[in-house]
Amino acid sequence: MSFARRNSASVLAALCIAIACLAVAGCGGKSEASGTGTTTNASTPSTASSSTSSTATTAVPPAEQPFVAEADAICRKANMQLAKTQLKKNTTLAAAAGVAARNAATERGALAELTKLTPPSALAPTWAKMLSVRRSLVRGLDELAAAIRRGGEKFPALRKQKKQLHAELTAVGSKAGFKDCAKIG
């Protein structure tokens, strides 16, 4: 009887670690363009000529180009930082919680810089939406770190929410002409 309990506890712990790794890994490191299967490495600065995405980036009007370039530079820096926090295969729950917390701090720092920018009036509604999605991602990463520390509850719901927010950010940002701000990690 005690063997079955120990074995069940081991399996549950391994499952929690695996789910935590999958959930945290999605907020940093490599990001997959939806629908294409193309993987891009966030540590390589993107350029207009080498960017590959399944969501077409809209051409940015000349009046908006300086703002988009400044915002994308901030996002590129954050994305490169997030790329450095990839989880290893045998990561512990404590390490996964630490990665989620560091990713939240990185996103929080980028968000603080991005909120200081004043968008052109034509981009204001889109920019407000993008910042709102990024705030939600930070809250989600904070919740994920806390859930991992508590032993794994809420993983599926948090992972689903994170995927939806990533997709929303990509759609809104790409449509407005952003490259680096239209993705996370």
Structure-block tokens of residue 18? 């695996």
**pLDDT at residue 13 in the model:** 47
pLDDT tens by residue, 133-167 = 999 999 988 988 888 888 766 667 777 888 899 89
pLDDT tens by residue, 97-124 = 888 899 999 999 999 999 999 999 999 9
**pLDDT at residue 152 in the model:** 65
Of 51, 88, 62, 92, nearest to 182 (Cα)? 51
Please give the distance of CA 112 from its chain centroid, rounded to a whole number.
16
What's the pLDDT band for 61 if we cut at 50, 70, 90? confident
Cα 74 to Cα 64: distance, rounded to the nearest angstrom: 16
Structure-block tokens of residue 129? 């939406």
pTM over 0.95: no
